[in-house]
A = this chain, B = another copy of it.
Amino acid sequence: MPRSRHSSISPRDLARHHRKRDQITATMNPGTELVSIFKPLSDHDVKRIHHAALDLLAQVGIAQPTERIKQAALNHGCKISQQGRLLFPRAIVEDMIDKAAKEFIMYGRDPAFDFEACSNKVNFCTGGAAVLMLDIEQRKYRPSTLIDLYDLARVCDTLENVQWFTRPVVATEIENLFELDINTIYACAAGTQKHIATSFTMGHHVTDMLPMLEALSKGKQAFSERPYCTAHATTIVSPMTFAGESLDVACAAVDAGMPVNVLTGPQAGATAPAALAGTLVQGCAESLGSMCVINMLKPGHPVILSNWTFISDLRTGAFTGGGGEQALLGAASGQMSAFYGIPGGVGAGMSDSKVPDNQAGFEKALTIMSAALSGGGFVYESVGMLSSLLGCSIEAMIIDDDMLSNIHRIAKGIEVNDATLSVSVVADTVDGPGHFLGHSQTLELMESEYVYPRQADRLSPDDWHDTGAKDAWDRATERAKQILSQHYPDYIDSTTDDYIRNHFPIKLPKPGVTTSPA
């Protein structure tokens, strides 16, 4: 513990300090410019990985392109191997990297939630497709539902550090795939006006539900000007094979003017090499290949390059998301996106723990911090996910958001200039009061230099005991119940809602109807 001279602060200084303290509203803003950098790869290694990925694309290629993609690629100079694999000559990939969109706006339905997609900013999103929900009351898992998705959207709507809402859970009670896709979008849009995203099971689902997306924007043109929904398309089945239906989804999204997040999920030791460098190479090849074919359809279309390199526990072959290897791969994937200058996405925060316990805390912190500080752009799965992505928890979401404020603060770095170096401040204080709490610099910096947690406990042991000895999960449960019982946003007006419900099989009760047991 720090030792102090225990100098007394003057009553005047203390009063000034207390006045300032009572005014504090500071929280972190999202989209922090990245100053603190975490680099697992040297610049030389980044280039070696890139060149090996180009080798894979040129020599091995990607199997099973759809007919539309194959034609576009052949028109741009790609070739077909004897085995029917699409080969990408190196110069063509380099050309498409040049042509790719480097910065674009991700729109919210409310412009207050617009933000910039670019590398070297720290942006957090939800993500995932969990099928289990950690029930708040029972603290046990049960299948996730459409109501859970709506509740998660409402909670995410209130979180300061999460910029967009990708559906974290699947509405497992809906069997019809079109009904699932349409209700997924509806539940997201009912709960938040932040940018939303989901995957679609078929390409024509994008086209078929476009009138709903447009209605939520108040018109076709409004949606095309401010597309507030991204299509996640896992366009690759590793190793090195296109996923036809997802490729159709990506194409339909391009036609609809929606940003596309092209995803690949090579899993080290299972669907990709056990060598981390090899998984990274394969993931770069797979995601670059997808990025190339989208840009061949429409040069400069907003594409997020999601090279979600995953880890296997090689004792079982099962996916594991919480270890140091995952932290390394996430950061390295981010470094590769930063090298390409294309906004990149990585998954992080994919704890293997089943509950929001200490393991969940440290696994999320290690993996999310690594990914966020590598300069890639977007960190998905950054709040709420548990059980190696099979489970989701509202309480975890609330705790994780608090952690993200710390990661934003770390990303922002330490400002070094003549004023902050503080030589004269120290000299003044040594010769004067001997204590800095009442110094004018302290009062000036209370909001800008420091983040005050929303959820984390900073009480003394005695005060903590006297206020119920609550742990992080207890406090998050209280906050979750408060949000769920109070935050019923009215983001879809009744005329629009009637139109949508008349044309689409919406299963969510009308907004405003109490849906949660809380």
Contacts and interface: CB of A to CB of B under 8 A. Distances in A.
A242 to B, nearest CB: 12
Interface string A432-449: 001111010110111001
A322 B456 contact: yes
A399 interface: yes
A215 interface: no
A371 to B, nearest CB: 12
A140 to B, nearest CB: 8
B366 A274 contact: no
24 contacts: A1-B129, A1-B265, A2-B310, A5-B237, A24-B315, A40-B410, A59-B427, A239-B429, A270-B436, A272-B436, A274-B442, A274-B450, A275-B425, A313-B450, A314-B445, A317-B437, A324-B406, A325-B450, A328-B414, A354-B459, A355-B469, A359-B456, A361-B363, A391-B461
Contacts of A460: 318, 390
Nearest to A408: B324
A445 B274 contact: yes
A4 interface: yes
A358 B474 CA distance: 11
Nearest to A310: B2
Contacts of A319: 1-2
A427 B332 CA distance: 22
Number of copies: 2
Contact of A328 (B2, B36, B59, B275): B36
Contacts of A279: 422
Interface string A406-430: 1111100111110111110111011
Interface stretch (A49-57, A201-209, A488-496): A49-57
B420 A278 contact: yes
Interface in A4-38: 4-5, 17, 21, 24, 35-38
A422 B234 contact: no
A192 interface: no
A415 B409 CA distance: 30
Interface in A453-497: 453, 455-461, 464-465, 469, 471-473
Contact of A274 (B280, B314, B323, B446): B446
A327 interface: yes
B366 A451 contact: no
A60 B399 CA distance: 44
A75 to B, nearest CB: 25
A282 interface: yes
A268 to B, nearest CB: 8
Contacts of A327: 406, 409-410
Nearest to A322: B456
A138 to B, nearest CB: 11
Interface residues of A, number: 153
A317 to B, nearest CB: 5
A365 interface: yes
A83 B461 CA distance: 41
A269 B437 CA distance: 5
A437 B270 contact: yes
A471 B469 CA distance: 18
Interface in A213-243: 234, 236-241, 243
A115 interface: no
A439 B270 CA distance: 9
Nearest to A417: B277
Contact of A241 (B5, B48, B422, B452): B5
A157 interface: no
Interface in A272-294: 272-282
A356 interface: yes
Given A267-B2, A315-B24, A422 B35 contact: no
A310 to B, nearest CB: 5
Contacts of A119: none
Contacts of A59: 423, 427
A314 B21 contact: yes
Contact of A358 (B45, B128, B390, B472): B472
A353 to B, nearest CB: 6
B456 A239 contact: no
Contact of A399 (B45, B271, B358): B358
Given A238-B2, A439-B274, A365 B357 contact: no
A45 B414 contact: yes
B2 A271 contact: yes
Given A277-B414, A358-B357, A453-B323, A430 B471 contact: no
Contact of A273 (B52, B140, B387, B426): B426
A155 interface: no
A356 B354 contact: no
A366 B403 contact: yes
